[in-house]
């Protein structure tokens, strides 16, 4: 799950075959991300990229760089890093989702919709991609599509109020005020704060 645009890199599966220095740099980058030290993280991920001999390490380094840039609000750099990761693994759901978050923040809603839809197809359990897709559909005025994907997300993310809010906003914009009111009341009941 993203925290401030940051998606933690996925651990490497072939650790015995990778450069120890590159793997150590990835670990240090992840540690720096967790501490909020994004500049250090970028340095570690850059070193991992330079010292890597495999596509997996390069993929992880680019994914980490994208996360660090996104967390630092350098969206163009984040998008470039995520695109580089996707050149290595074009069907990676978390990378598609992360690039979708960046393009959404850049206001490129059509592209973000395609990325979130692709992420949801690649990982059917990634309910957050459906929520973000619904939000982007709202920005595009595609309220019925937003309701559809957010209702699917509600069933996947039962304890999360984001998909419910998405349904509420979309039904409100469709003029279905009583349905929107019922959804908003449910959100308030679940989280009075």
User: CA distances (Å), 122 to each of 8, 57, 96, 125, 126, in order?
Assistant: 18, 21, 9, 9, 9
The answer to whether residues 93 and 129 touch, using CB atoms and an 8 Å cutoff, is: yes
The answer to whether residues 147 and 137 touch, using CB atoms and an 8 Å cutoff, is: no
Q: Based on the number of CB atoms within 10 Å of its own CB, is 189 exposed (0-12), middle (13-18) or buried (19 or more)?
A: exposed
* Regions of the chain with pLDDT less than 70: 1-18
d(CA 112, CA 5): 14
- Which residue has tokens 């914009």? 173
User: 103-119 b/e with 16+ CB inside 10 Å = b?
Assistant: bbeeebbebbbbbbbbb
pLDDT at residue 158, rounded to an integer: 84
Name the pTM for this structure: 0.85
d(CA 61, CA 10): 10
Residue 103 exposure: Cα atoms within 13 Å on the Cβ side? 22
d(CA 134, CA 116): 9
d(CA 173, CA 132): 17
């Amino acid at each position: 799950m993203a925290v401030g645009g940051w998606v933690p890199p996925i651990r490497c599966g072939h650790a015995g075959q990778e450069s120890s220095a590159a793997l150590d740099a990835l670990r240090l980058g992840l540690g720096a991300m967790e501490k909020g030290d994004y500049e250090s993280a970028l340095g570690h991920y850059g070193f991992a990229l330079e010292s890597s001999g495999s596509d997996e390490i390069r993929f992880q380094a680019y994914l980490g760089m994208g996360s660090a840039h996104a967390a630092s609000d350098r969206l163009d750099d984040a998008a470039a890093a995520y695109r580089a990761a996707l050149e290595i693994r074009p069907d990676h759901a978390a990378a598609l989702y992360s690039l979708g978050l960046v393009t959404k923040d850049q206001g490129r809603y059509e592209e973000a919709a395609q990325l979130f839809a692709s992420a949801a197809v690649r990982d059917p359990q990634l309910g957050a991609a459906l929520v973000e897709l619904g939000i982007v559909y709202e920005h595009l005025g595609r309220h019925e599509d937003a309701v559809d994907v957010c209702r699917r997300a509600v069933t996947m993310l039962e304890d999360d109020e984001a998909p419910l809010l998405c349904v509420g906003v979309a039904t409100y914009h469709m003029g279905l005020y009583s349905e929107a009111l019922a959804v908003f009341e449910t959100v308030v009941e679940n989280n009075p704060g």
